[in-house]
Chains A and B, each alone.
Chain A
Amino acid sequence: MAAARALAAAGRRNLVVVSFLGSLDVELLLAAGCVRTLHSAGVALDGAGLAPRYRVGRQERTIEFVEWSEGTLLCALQATARGVPSLPTWTALDTDLPAVNANVREAADPFTGERVMQIRALALDVAILHVPAVDSRGNAYVEGDFAVDGALARAAGRVYVSHEQTVADDPRRAVLSRLWVDGLVPAPAGAWPTGCHPHYPADLEVVSRWAAEGASAGAELLTEAAR
């Protein structure tokens, strides 16, 4: 969220945003008019409901939305990480994904002839991750789920990691090696109003307000000043 706030404050426009599963971060960028194209498997506010700016953007087609499934998007990131133009997967056959995403195409396996979905590599210029902690050397630490952030880092040309705090070096516990990290940005409460375990939970009151008002409310509801 801290990076999304900074992009919004800087007035960036025409961004191509890749959000594996988006939330208020995508909503903020949409509200601030930063987004030209959005790649995602889904955007929602979990228990608080649907994401209003995302809905309007898709319904009124004010953004180009490239829809993925979780499995196909992960496959596209891994193709980039492996340095190949595409990878096959068993998921998404007989769905409408190829109709809405030109990076997903049915093909025949060259060895068996079996039907597969061939997924084009998706390369990111920059990955921006937020983690609970880093060490002095730039290794990143997360308790619990690291989601697909590791795959995003390996598919990106540069990786910037914002973090809640700096901790003692213990590289064996790191979820992301410093070898993948190009820059560190201290950002206490940087995930607010989403949560950053174990430092703070999601601010459900703000999430709820955004769900109710987001289509009409301005991006200022999610700025640091509103906290």
Chain B
Amino acid sequence: MTPHPGDLLTAALAREIADSGISVYAVTSPASVAAALAARALGASDLALATGFTALDAEPVPSVTLGEAGLFTSGAALVDDPFDTFALLARGRVGVAVAPAQIDAAGRTNLSGVGPPGRPKVALPGARGLPDNNASPSRVWYLLPAHSPRQLVERVDVVCGAVPPARATRRLLTPAGCFELCSSGWQAVWLTPDGEDLVAGAPGLGIGLSGSEPVVTAPDAAALAAVEQVDPHGVRLIEFSAGADAAARYQAAAAREASR
């Protein structure tokens, strides 16, 4: 059976986080939270979770949830200065997974809008932390639910995140596989069974394939088990769904949270 891309990619991200050596992981979306929690069970037991700008070592750890409130912690407030986040970023000690609306062949990112800067035809959320993350030596994963030519482009419309520093590690996880930004552009680390076709369908990113890339047919079993342990209801799959399926999953998760 073909694995759900949400399971494959969340498990892959969990393994990536566990093996990365970072000190702090900044949680964002449900899949990102699930991956970070699973990474702790995969060997990164000391990984600190940042659930915002001042809760840099959240304890108890957050749960996988739809609403922001679920990302907050119980107990006494953590009163770290919000600048700690940026100091840690600047030292390369942080990891974060983000989902830009566009990523380009040089690793630039966009979450501001489609169209010229300041005159969007389609306005998106805004630059958020992309200018900060991309400029840092810290670890950034781009986690996308589709390998789409609309998102993976030769040049982004608005440069929110600039070309990353030369030695910074940037990896892209999509239903086509895992890709790393190198000096020569994006290179495949591994592909899914559909990866070659998906890569060919989004040529703007300029991914070069040698034909000898490993093909991953199933999720990392230990990583997936760890993910399912922390996210038994599959909240992570909402961000890998679309249309009616996504709406139904969201409503089910919202109803579950309302009854807690």
Chain A contacts to B: CB under 8 angstroms: 21, 40-44, 46-48, 50-51, 54-55, 57-59, 61, 67-72, 74, 78, 89-97, 99-100, 141-148, 150-151, 173, 175, 194-198, 200-202, 204-205, 207-208
* Interface residue tally on B, bucketed by range: 35 or more
A92, B132: Cβ atoms closer than 8 Å: yes
Tell me which residues across on chain B come within 8 A of A143, comparing CB atoms. Answer: 72-77
Taking the nearest CB of chain A, how far is it from the CB of B7, in angstroms?
19
Least CB distance, B168 to chain A, in whole angstroms: 13
- Other A-B contacts than A69-B160, A74-B86, 15 sampled, CB-CB below 8 A, are A42-B111, A43-B126, A44-B125, A44-B126, A46-B68, A47-B239, A67-B127, A92-B132, A99-B118, A144-B72, A144-B77, A147-B82, A175-B77, A198-B74, A208-B250
Q: Which single member of A46, A68, A99, A142 contacts B66 (CB below 8 Å)?
A: A46
B67/A42 in contact, CB under 8 A: no
Indicate whether A201 sits within 8 Å of B251 (C-beta atoms), given known contacts A144-B55, A145-B53.
Answer: no
Supply 28 A–B pairs (Cβ within 8 Å), ascending by A.
A47-B239, A55-B122, A59-B123, A70-B132, A91-B136, A92-B131, A93-B162, A100-B112, A143-B74, A143-B76, A144-B58, A144-B73, A144-B74, A144-B77, A145-B78, A146-B53, A146-B79, A148-B82, A175-B79, A194-B68, A195-B67, A197-B72, A198-B74, A201-B69, A201-B257, A201-B258, A204-B66, A204-B257
- Are A42 and B135 in contact, with the CB atoms below 8 A? no
Among B51, B86, B132, B239, max chain A CB count under 10 A is at: B132
Inside 8 A of A71's CB, which chain B residues have their CB? 86, 129, 131-132
Question: Interface readout for B51-63 with A: 1 if CB under 8 Å, 0 if not?
Answer: 1111100100000
A96 touches B251 (CB 8 A): no
State the CA gap A143–B135 with chains docked (Å).
Answer: 31
B128 on the A face (CB < 8 A): yes
**What 3 pairs between A and B have smallest CB-CB spacing?**
A145-B52, A42-B126, A195-B69
One of A41, A142, A195, A196 near B128 (C-beta < 8 A): A41
